[in-house]
Structure 1
Amino acid sequence: IENNKIDVLALSLVQWLDGFSIDLEFLKKIKILYPHVLIIADGTQFCGSTNFDFNNSGIDVLGASAYKWLLAGYGNGFMLFSDQVENEFDLNTIGFNAADGNFDKKNSIRFAKQFEPGHLSSMNFGSLKFSIDFFGRIGMERIAEHNGNLSLMAKTEFKKLGLLTDRVENRKSHSTIFNIKANDAMYQKLLENDVFCAQRGDGVRLSFHFYNTESEIDAIVKILKTGR
């Protein structure tokens, strides 16, 4: 950042391909050392998987689709902005509905609303609200603890089998997404045993959420062992 005079840092909090997770304390440290740097984060593979406080994250802009861990279906998402951002951006255009059909309001509407592009789906937003309320009833602390236990267990077992890359093995913490070393035959064996997974890159991606259990990870490990 110092050597290259970087003003904007844009990154995914969790990488969709292999679950590589950014240390949030690292981002907070960057913000303290370089308060002028705008940190823009993609939270699609992150939001809903663990506890998160945007106001204390050091992140300036967070955008996320809600279909993934928030379980809110396709076609909706959201963006969060820190107080600093409004003074850093100058929007050239806004959506028709953002100004309520009156472009004379362009310079008077609140900052966040300027990013609403056009015709919005109240049903889609309703599905997001339903999920957020549902997560709230369960408790994000409980979800975060459960997912953390699943991640640790999966990482430990996959590491024993030599199925993880060095960059994942050497991280102190990881998300609930794993891309394991597996060929086509192993992928088919997992599918045949009712394991929902996907071929991504050179491996197979497995993902876990609060509705999964440790016994399910045990079952996957047994399949992986018998298929080698």
Structure 2
Amino acid sequence: MEDPLYLNHASYSPPTQAVADTVQALLASAMRGGPTTSAELHGEHARARAAVARLAGVPAERVALTTSTSQGLLQTAFGVRGDVLVSLDEFPANVYPWRRAEAAGRLRVHALPGSGPGMTSGTVSPSPVTPERVADALTPAIGAVAVSAVDFRTGYRADLAGIRSVIGPDRLLVVDGIQGFGAIDADWSPADVLVVGGQKWLRAGWGTGFMAFSERGLAQVEPTLGSWAGAEDQARYDGTIHPLLAGAERHAVTNLSPFTSGALATALEGITATGIGVIAAQIASTAGRLADAIEAAGLALLSPRAPAERAGIVVAGYPAGAAIEAHARLTAAGVTATLHGDDRIRFSPHSTTPGGTIDRVAELIGRSASAPG
């Protein structure tokens, strides 16, 4: 069980005991060896894909496992052709892949107007990616739009259905879902490619993740970085390039660790058993109390106030330079949160965060806001 003052699930969420037990059991099985061990271990791969399919709302054949959001987005970017619209205020994992693919001559990047260097200062946050901004930036050449389901700086929830509506049925919508999947109860069907790492809200640990495709996404995103594991007849070592697998596993690079696949499967099955609606409601309630505490302390709330527009991230804005000392005080008191620059602190509770934690953090925030210097 994580420390009760741990409020950093948007950076890394400690795996559950069930996940730890799964990994230990799989390691024990691997240590024993035997003629059926390999097949048994790699059966975790199918279990994980099935667990993703249930939560993402897509058939398992349209799910591919990967090691991280960064890896999945890189594979997606190199599989897209044409022009891509993306905000430069996205987390770097959703900027670098598109720039790398552009440099390789596979596509052209269109920066969302009003995004990028100079757009953030003091307690001013980047403008959220809205359907209106996307609509204004579209050109006939743009064939894909990339966006985060939840903004890592503020916790703002993108209107995926609205963006899908304005870009139309023929453009691809690529969604970085790592800050939302497992934390919010959302309809993911607008996404043509949904890429999620499991080390944050899913509590599956590092090295876990998935890509979930719509029919259009699977048909249009080429498996450019896919390798032998994404082809048929993998055990026929004849020096030829074999036909691609029919489903999303055509994007596979290699056989992934059965330990990480098992960890992801167990984490997702736990979410399904509890109910994503129950988890999301608890996170929203705790995040709301944090937002109240920030405003009560006289600090700027840099996250949306309306619960429908906010996920599990709540950000306190400080005068320039003041957040460093405030964060140090919180850390000294045992609170784990993220310092962003010198003027903001990001808090991210999970459904397991005790109610008393918010009372304690509210007290500490009030002290840090009123402390001299």
Give the TM-score of the pair, scaled to structure 2: 0.55
Q: Deviations over 1:83-105 (max 9, x none)?
A: 11233233345211222255553
Measure the CA separation in 2 of the matches of 1:64 and 1:219.
32
How far the C-alpha of 1:218 sits from its partner, in A, is 2.1
1:13 to 138, 149, 152: 149
Root-mean-square deviation (CA, aligned residues, Å) is 2.3
Within a 5 Å distance, the mapping from 1:59-98 to structure 2 comes to 59-92=191-224, 94-98=226-230
Measure the CA separation in 1 of the matches of 2:170 and 2:235.
35
Q: Aligned residue for 1:223?
A: 364
SS for the counterpart of 1:97 is: helix
Q: Aligned residue for 1:198?
A: 338
Give the TM-score of the pair, scaled to structure 1: 0.86
1:111 to 247, 252, 267: 247
1:136 to 272, 278, 285: 272
Structure 2 unaligned segments of length 5 or more: list them. 1-134
Within a 5 Å distance, the mapping from 1:98-177 to structure 2 comes to 98-99=230-231, 100-101=234-235, 104-107=241-244, 109-160=245-296, 161-165=298-302, 168-169=304-305, 173-177=309-313
Q: Deviations over 1:102-131 (max 9, x none)?
A: 555324x12301111113101101001111
How far the C-alpha of 1:210 sits from its partner, in A, is 0.6
Higher relative contact order (CA 8 A, sep 6+): 2
Matched, 1:44 2:178: yes
Identity %: 22
**Matched residue count:** 222
Measure the CA separation in 2 of the matches of 1:53 and 1:169.
21
Measure the CA separation in 1 of the matches of 2:307 and 2:354.
23
Whether contact under 8 Å (1:179, 1:200) holds in the other structure is no
Q: Aligned residue for 2:104?
A: none
How far the C-alpha of 1:217 sits from its partner, in A, is 1.6
- Which protein shows a greater Rg? 2
